[in-house]
Amino acid sequence: MWGLSQKQKQEIETLQKNGNLHPIDIVNFAKDPATALHNCFDWDDTEAAQKYRLEQARSVIRVYVKVHKSTHITTRAFVSLSTDRKNGGGYTAMARVLSEEDKHQQMLADALAELAAVRKKYMQLKELVDVFKEIDRVVARKPKPRGRVETHAECPL
């Protein structure tokens, strides 16, 4: 999503109640076309319904898992790589991602970017300092590209 204007931020601030903010309050407030937040929403019900169904489909894909027969390890069946999202979206089978070097490297880069975002979000929590140090160790090691991956317990697909 895009950044918010100062006016949109001010409107959101006015909707806080005891330090809490509820999405329904924002939607109800933004119904008024005179608000700055109004343009953050799709008010065409047909178009909004289609967008919501697409989001539901994404949720279905995200919860689709496979259980490896011999190890009983559960893993996601599909993953959305950042490169896929730039090219119109879609999800790639995890087995393919783990067996193709370029896709594996992209998934690793995406994971490290997500971990950087987690760090930024939770950096105030001193309890996570050791977790962040371990992430730094992985990044510093700069994992080398690997050869073709064979399917085994650590790589269940």
Q: Is residue 79 part of a domain?
A: no
What pLDDT does residue 88 have?
79
Which string of b and e fits 83-101 if b means at least 16 CB within 10 Å? ebeeeeeebbebbebbbee
Beta strands (DSSP E) in the chain are 65-67, 74-76, 78-79, 92-93
Mean pLDDT of the chain, nearest integer? 88
Q: Domain range spanning residue 28?
A: 1-41
**Do residues 65 and 156 lie in contact, with contact meaning Cβ atoms separated by under 8 Å?**
no
Task: Inform me whether the pLDDT recorded for 24 exceeds 90.
Answer: yes
Maximum distance among all alpha carbons in the chain?
A: 60
pLDDT band at 143 (very low <50, low <70, confident <90, very high): low
Q: Residue 84's pLDDT is what?
A: 87
pLDDT tens for 49-93 read: 999 999 999 999 999 999 988 888 999 999 999 998 887 778 999
Residues belonging to the chain:
157
The answer, yes or no, to whether residue 1 has pLDDT greater than 60, is: no
Position 16 in a domain: yes
Establish if 28 belongs to a structural domain: yes
- Here the tokens at position 95 are 């087995």
* Least confident among 62-76, 95-109, 141-155: 141-155
Of 156 and 77, the structure prediction assigns the larger pLDDT to: 77
Quote the tokens at residue 9. Answer: 């931020």
> Would residue 12 count as lying in a domain?
yes
Is 37 part of any domain?
yes
* 148: pLDDT strictly greater than 80: no
How many structural domains comprise the chain? 1
